Structure 1
Amino acid sequence: MQIRIFDDGDADRDCLFVLGWGNRCRHENVQWFVDRLATRFRVHVAELPTHISDVRTEWVDPLVDYATDLESVALLSHSAGGLTAAHMDLDSIEQRVYLSPWWGSDFGPLFGLVRALPISRPFLPVGNLEGAALGELATEAQLADGPDSSSPAFLRAVDRAQQRLPPARDDAVAFCTLTDAIVDPRAVGHRLPADRIRLYDGGHELFSSTARDDLTETVLDALERGPTAL
C-alpha cells in the first residue's frame, strides 16, 4: 500500500483519503479533488493494492496501523476505500465521509460457482468500468490505468468484507448516485438514514463527475463538522 502526503504547511488537521479500487494519485481527477482537500487539511492519500485475497490484512490493518499515529483524523473514502474505512475502528477518527462506498455488489448469477474456485490470479473480466459509468470527466489515462480483471479470491474477499460490515457510525455521511452502475447504491440506504445521504446526478466517482463543482465544498464541510454539514 502506498500513502502520499499533501501538505502546504497551513493545515492543522489530518484527512486520510482512502481511494477506490484502481484509483491513483496521478489521475487528473483525483489530483483535482486532493488539491481542494489540501486547502483545509493535511491530506494522506492511500492507494489500495489492486489484487488481494483478504480485505482485513491487506487493506484495513495497514491503514489502521498508519492512522494510529495521527491524533485527529477526518476519514474520507471512495468505493473500495469505503468498504475498507467502514472496518476501521479508531478513537482518533472524528468524521467519516463516504463517496459511493462499495457496501453492496451484484456479482451476477455465476458468482456462487466462481467464488469457489481456488484461484488468486486475476482472469475474470471486469465490467462497467467505463467512462460513462465512472463520470463525465473520466480521462483516457484514468481508464487505461484501471483494473480490467479480478480473481475469485478477490471477489470472495470483497463479499466476505461486505457481509461482515460493522454497524455504521453515528458520524458517517455518504455521497452517492442512484444510477451507480459499479456498486449497489441500495446498500448505502440500508446502512444510513436519508438525512445522512447526499445524492447527486453523475457517475460512480464524484471527483470525475460534473457534480463535483457543486458538492466539493459540502464534502469538505462534512469532513469538518459531520452530518450537520448536509
Structure 2
Amino acid sequence: MEYFHSDGRNTKQEKKYLFVYRTFQMKDTKFKHGKDFTSVEVMLVLQNHQMKVRQHWMKATGIVRRIDDLGRVVIPKEIRRTLRIREGDPLEIFVDRDGEVILKKYSPISELSDFAKEYAEALFDSLGNPVLICDRDAYIAVAGSSKKDYLNKNISDLMGKTMEERSSVLKTSQGEVSLVDGNEETVTSYTVGPIIANGDPIGAVVIFSKEKTLGEVEQKAVETAAGFLARQMES
C-alpha cells in the first residue's frame, strides 16, 4: 500500500488531489485516513480536478465586452496572444443550448488532413527525407520521422515567419533549428513551401534532413506539394 503524508498546510481537498497525482497509476492505493481507492476512482478524481482547473481558468478570463451596432466584439489582446489568434484569422461560431457563443479557430487545411498525410507519405517514399505538413498553428501530417515529436505540435515562430513571406526557402548548414515551438534540434538543411490559398498563407510543407544537404529537387517538391494542396482548398 502507498500512503500519502502531508505537512498539514494544505486543505483536505488539496491533500486528496496531491495524493491522486502521485498515485493515480497504481492499482491499489490507500489514503492516510484509511479510505481505499481503486484505479478507476483515482482517475475520476483526477479528471474532476482537471475540470475544476479549466472552469477556474474560464472564470478567471471571463472578460465582459459590449457588441457594437454592427455586431462586432473585441477579443482581448491577452487571449489572442495566448491562443495564437492573428489578424485576419478565420473563426468558427457555435451556439450551444445554454446560450453560450463559442468561437473556435478555423483551419481550412485541416479539412484535408487525411489527404495531407497521404501526400506526406508519398513525398517521403520518393525522396527519403522526413516530411511535415502544417497549418497556421500545428503540424497535421508527419512522414519519415517520429509522430510523437511533431504531430499536433505547435509550429515555431520561424515557420510562421516563413509562411508570412509567402515564398519557398532552402536553408543549408543550419545547425540548431526550431521547427517545433520551444524545441531546437540539429538539422543539416531544410526547405519550406508555404501553402497560399486565395492569397492567404494557410500552412506549409516542410522537408528536412539531419544527415545530408537538400537541394533544388527537394525545394521544387515542397513548392509542388504546397501548390497542389492550395488548389485543393480553392476548388
Higher strand share: 2
Identify the structure with bigger relative contact order (alpha carbons < 8 Å, sequence gap 6+): 1
TM-score category (smaller protein) = under 0.3
With normalisation by structure 1, the TM-score equals 0.21
Higher CA-based Rg: 2
